[in-house]
Amino acid sequence: MIWNKLRRIITDNNDKGRSTVLIDGGPAKVLAVDEAGLAEIWAAALGDGIFSSDDKLASEDVRLEPAAGAMKVRWFTVPPEDEEASAEAREERAAFGFAAAGASAARVDISRHPMMHKTQTLDVIILIRGDVDLLLDEGEAKTLKPGDVVIQRATNHAWVNRGKETALLVAVLVNAPA
């Protein structure tokens, strides 16, 4: 499984002001079903709390969006579309996944695809492995390749994998006050 192969390294300054490794290990938390899921890397408050050494994610439930005034870094995967699944089965899986991440309300318009969602965040998404398409309400960015970067600006969207390999992406999500 992909989740046990992911490694995060978090640095810190010790009590003498010397740089050191705070964490060298796997994800703080994982929310996944088979190959689809989210793996938390780090979260921090924006502003004065940004350099806190607390690994807040290790003790919190996985949530799609960071808290207001905070940022979050995570890996996420998009498995290949199950072409044999019925539309009802796809909808059930999507509804379950978003509910598990506390994000049912993010599904504002799913008429184009059951994974469509909109968060009030600025996201930087980097494709690491595989291919995905980014669906939008009107149009799409077809066949993103490893190294491609998407700046997602609070728009309704879905990640769709029409290939054969599970795609791995890294996301930096910022929920800054408006």
Q: What confidence score (pLDDT) does residue 178 get?
A: 62
Q: Are 11 and 22 in contact (CB under 8 A)?
A: yes
C-alpha to C-alpha distance for 88 and 151, rounded to whole angstroms: 31
* Architecture of the 1-178 domain: Sandwich (2.60)
Q: What is the H or E stretch that residue 167 is in?
A: strand 167-175
C-alpha to C-alpha distance for 155 and 17, rounded to whole angstroms: 41
- Tens place of pLDDT per residue across the chain (178 aa): 788 899 999 999 999 999 999 999 999 999 999 889 999 999 998 988 788 888 878 888 999 999 999 999 999 999 999 989 999 999 999 999 999 999 999 999 999 999 999 999 999 999 999 999 999 999 999 999 999 999 999 999 999 999 999 999 999 999 977 6
Positive or negative, the Cα torsion across 62, 56, 155, 79? negative
**Single pTM value for the model:** 0.92
